[in-house]
Amino acid sequence: MRDVAIIGVGLTKFGELWDKSFRQLTAEAGSKAIFDAGIEGKEIDAMYVGSMSSGRFVGQEHVGALVADASGFSHLHIPSTRVEGASASGGLAVREGYLSIASGLNDIVVVGGIEKMNDVGGNAAIETLVTAADQEWEAFFGATFPGIYAMIATKHMHDYGTTKEQLAQVAVKNHANGALNPYAQYQREIKIEHVLNATTVAYPLGLLDCSPLTDGAASIVLCAADKAKEYSNKPVKIIASGQASDTLSLHGRRDICTLDSTVNAAKKAYKQANLSPKDIDLAEVHDCYTIAEICAIEDLGFIEKGQGGKAIENKITTLDGSLPVNTSGGLKSKGHPIGATGVAQIVEIALQLRKEADKRQVKDAKIGLAQNVGGSGATCCVHIMEAM
Amino acid sequence: MRDVAIIGVGLTKFGELWDKSFRQLTAEAGSKAIFDAGIEGKEIDAMYVGSMSSGRFVGQEHVGALVADASGFSHLHIPSTRVEGASASGGLAVREGYLSIASGLNDIVVVGGIEKMNDVGGNAAIETLVTAADQEWEAFFGATFPGIYAMIATKHMHDYGTTKEQLAQVAVKNHANGALNPYAQYQREIKIEHVLNATTVAYPLGLLDCSPLTDGAASIVLCAADKAKEYSNKPVKIIASGQASDTLSLHGRRDICTLDSTVNAAKKAYKQANLSPKDIDLAEVHDCYTIAEICAIEDLGFIEKGQGGKAIENKITTLDGSLPVNTSGGLKSKGHPIGATGVAQIVEIALQLRKEADKRQVKDAKIGLAQNVGGSGATCCVHIMEAM
C-alpha cells in the first residue's frame, strides 16, 4: 500500500446554523481545505463524503454527487461517493479516501463530512438519531441513545466505582478546551456544579453530559505521501487506519462497558503503525456522552480498564496533562454534526501536528490518534497520524 | 493495484417480499454468496453494503454494522461500511470493496446490496426515491423521476426521431429475458400492445416503461485474483472499475439525452481494461425507465448517439442479438431494489461468464459490462469483467 498524507484541512463554524444550507456548508468546508492544500479542481481524482442521515435530516440522499456539484466540479465528472456508518460516517469516509490512494488508483482525494441537524421539526432529530441504533431490538421499544449510554454509565459506576463527578469532569475539561476553539459550538467554560445540577436526561447523564445537535461540515485533502511536499510544507502522514464492527444492539456485547469495536480497530491501527498506546501524544475521542470518553481512553489502551474515571479526576487528559484528549473541545463542546465529526477530529489532529492549534496547542505533539464511533459502538474507526 | 476476482455470488428472489425483513434479506443473499465461494466467516477481511435509503424506507441507518451482525459475524468484528450513491449504491459498494483488495489491505471482501421498498405507507416510497434527485432544484418543485426521465425521452424523440414503440420494445425484450430468470420479480413476457396501452405515468412513459418497487438483496464475494483459484474453479476477474459524477439536477447538463457520468465512467473503464466497446460480449445496463436503456447503449459507445431506438428495433440487444443487453431482465423485469441493483447486475454478468445462466445463457460470453446509474445520472459506475 502507498503512504497517504493530509495536505489541506477546512472547517465551518459548528453550531445552530439556520442561515446556511446543507450545500453551502459542504462547499465552505471543502473550499477551505482545497485552498489550504493549494490544489485546483482538475487535480482532484475522487471525493468521499461522510453523512449519517441526510435523507432524513434534509430530504437529500445522493450527497456524494451533490457535494461534487455544489463545489463547482460538475464539469470535471469527479467520482464522488457517500459513506455511512452512523456517527462514524466521517471516519469511514476518510478511510475510503485513504484506501483509494493507498491502492494506487488516486493521487489526490478530497474527503468531507457533513450533517445539518437543526432544520427538522418535532421529534425528527431524535427519531433520526435512533436509526443508528438497532431498530428491531432497541428503537422499537423506545430506547434512545441517552438511555443506551446511561446503561453503560451505570454499569461502569457499579463495576469500577466511577462517579457522577468524574463524568462531569469530562464535560468541564472539554468545555475548557472548546473555549479556546473558534470553530466550537460552545466557546465557554463550565464548572462541575453546572454539570451536576443540570437537568437529568437519563440517570446518571444530565444535559451537560450529552453532546448537542449541531450543523457543520469538515473537509481534508489527502495526497499520495510521496507527492505531499509538492503541495504542503507541513503534511501530516496517516500512518494507520483501523476499523471494526460489533453487535448493533448493546445487549449482545460480552461487556457493555467495553467497546470491542474500539479495542479491535485500535489493535489493527497500532499494529499497522508499529506503535503502542504509550507512543500517542494526543487523541481526539468520540465523547458523544461523557461516559463514552471514559470508555474510549480505556478501550484505546491509554488507561487500564475501569480506571478511566480516576484518570479524568487526576487531570491526565487535560491540555497540559500527559495525554491531552479532545483538545478541540470534543463532541461535547465543539459540537457533533454527526457525519462531520470523524473528519473534524482528524482536522484537529492535523492542526496540532502542524503546530497551528493556537491557544490549545499541545507542546511537542508528534503523533496523534482519532477514534470515531458509530451508534453505541457497532462501528469504530481509528486513525493514527504523524507530522512528516 | 492488485487484480481482483469474484469467487461467489448470491441473490434473493426479487419482488414484494412482505414476509422477509431487511436483515433476513441481507443474511440470505450474503450466506448464498459465502456458501458459493466456500469461505468461512473468519476469512472475511471486510464487508461493504450498498443501500440507498434504508433510513427512510425501514428506519434503519448504520446498515454496514447491521449486515455484519445479521450475518452472524459480530464476534469477528469485521470492518463493515455502507456506501450510498442513490440507485448506484450497489455499484459503488462493489467498487469500494474492489479498491480495498486492490490496495493490498484485504484479501477477501463480501459486498452486499439491499433495499426493502414495499413496507412503507402512503407516498413514502415516491418521497424517498426523489431524495436521489436535487431537493432544492427538482424535488421541491414537484419533480419526480418518471417526470425527469420523461423529459429525457421527449427530447430524445425530438432530436433523433425515437418512437414510443422503440421505447416499448425495451420493455418487451427485458420481460422476455426476465421470464427466463427465476429470481426476477416479473417472470412473464409482455407484448408491445401491453406497453403502448398501459396507463401513462409521464408522457411518453407508461406504467410498463417504468421499473417497479422491489424488495431484494444481492451479494458477491471478492478475492485477490492470485488467490481466487484456491476458492473457485471459475472465478471472474474485474478488469476495470470506472466511476464519474455530473450535476445532481437534470437542467445543468450540456445535453439531457447524454449521461456524461456514463460517458466518463465508461471511458475510464475501457482505458483500464484496454478494451473498446466492440470487445464487450454482453451488458447489464441501468434501465430504470425504457429510455434509460436507449441512452445507456449510446453513452457506453455500443451504438452511435441517437441510434439507440433503432438498435432496439433491429433486435441487436436481444438474447440472440450481437450484443445482448439486460439478459437478467434488467431493472424493468427483474426488479429494482435500489441498493441491490448494482450488485445484482454484477451477479448476472458473473453467472453468464461462468456459463451458469441457464435458459438465458449467452453463447461464448467472455467479457461483460455492468453500468449502474444514480438518480438521473449524477453518479455512474461501470465495471468490466472477464472469465479467468
Cβ contacts of A134 on chain B, cutoff 8 Å = 66
Is residue B140, in this structure, part of any structural domain at all?
no
Q: Domain check: are A336 and A376 in the same one?
A: yes
Say yes or no for a CB contact (<8 Å) between A69 and B248.
Answer: yes
Residue B316 to residue B308: CA distance in whole angstroms: 10
Count helices and strands in chain A by DSSP H and E runs: 14, 11
Q: Domain check: are B78 and B171 in the same one?
A: no
- Indicate which of A2, A63, A84, A136 best probes the interface with B, i.e. most B CBs within 10 Å of its own CB: A84
Say yes or no for a CB contact (<8 Å) between A105 and B99.
Answer: yes
Closest residue in A to B100 (Cα) is A99
Q: What burial letters (b/e) apply to A180-206, b meaning 16+ CB within 10 Å?
A: bbebbbbbeebeeebbbebeebbebbb
Measured in angstroms, the CA of B252 and the nearest CA of chain A are apart by: 9
Measured in angstroms, the CA of B99 and the nearest CA of chain A are apart by: 6
Q: Domain check: are A221 and A262 in the same one?
A: no
Is residue B260, in this structure, part of any structural domain at all?
yes
What total number of domains does chain B contain?
A: 2
Q: Domain check: are A231 and A207 in the same one?
A: no
Q: Domain check: are B94 and B15 in the same one?
A: yes
Residue B306 to residue B357: CA distance in whole angstroms: 31
Q: Domain check: are A149 and A33 in the same one?
A: no
Q: Is the pLDDT of residue A113 over 90?
A: yes
Is residue B137, in this structure, part of any structural domain at all?
no
Is residue A105, in this structure, part of any structural domain at all?
yes
Q: Domain check: are B283 and B365 in the same one?
A: yes
Per-residue confidence band for A138, with pLDDT thresholds at 50, 70 and 90: very high
In this prediction, residue A124 carries a pLDDT of: 86
Instruction: Kindly report, residue by residue over B365-385, the tens digit of the pLDDT.
Output: 999 999 999 999 999 999 999
Is residue B136, in this structure, part of any structural domain at all?
no
Instruction: Kindly report, residue by residue over A322-370, the tens digit of the pLDDT.
Output: 999 999 999 999 999 999 999 999 999 999 999 999 999 999 999 999 9
Q: Domain check: are A263 and A183 in the same one?
A: yes
Instruction: Kindly report, residue by residue over B231-279, the tens digit of the pLDDT.
Output: 999 999 999 999 999 999 999 999 999 999 999 999 999 999 999 999 9
Average pLDDT over residues A223-248: 98
A–B interface: beta-carbon pairs under 8 A: 209
Q: Domain check: are A230 and A252 in the same one?
A: no
Cβ contacts of A55 on chain B, cutoff 8 Å = 53, 55-56, 128, 131
Is residue B67, in this structure, part of any structural domain at all?
yes
Q: Which of B234, B269, B301 is the last residue of a domain?
A: B234
Cβ contacts of B133 on chain A, cutoff 8 Å = 62
CATH of the domain at A42: 3.40.47.10
Instruction: Kindly report, residue by residue over B40-49, the tens digit of the pLDDT.
Output: 999 999 999 9
In this prediction, residue A120 carries a pLDDT of: 83
Cβ contacts of A78 on chain B, cutoff 8 Å = 244-245
Which residue of B1, B60, B73 is in closest CB contact with A131?
B60
Is residue B130, in this structure, part of any structural domain at all?
no
Q: Domain check: are B200 and B220 in the same one?
A: no
Enclosing domain of residue A256: 124-211+239-381
Q: Please calculate the CA angle A294-A296-A301 and round it to the nearest 5 degrees.
A: 110
Is residue A386, in this structure, part of any structural domain at all?
no
Beta bridge partners of A387: A236
Instruction: Kindly report, residue by residue over A286-325, the tens digit of the pLDDT.
Output: 999 999 999 999 999 999 999 999 999 999 999 999 999 9
Say yes or no for a CB contact (<8 Å) between A104 and B105.
Answer: no
| Ranges under pLDDT 50 in chain B | none
Per-residue confidence band for A143, with pLDDT thresholds at 50, 70 and 90: very high
Q: Which residue has the cell 451504438?
A: B303
Q: Which amino acid is at A46?
A: A
Q: Domain check: are A187 and A322 in the same one?
A: yes
Q: Domain check: are B18 and B95 in the same one?
A: yes
Cβ contacts of B379 on chain A, cutoff 8 Å = 62, 64-65, 80
Per-residue confidence band for A377, with pLDDT thresholds at 50, 70 and 90: very high
Q: Is the pLDDT of residue A149 over 90?
A: yes
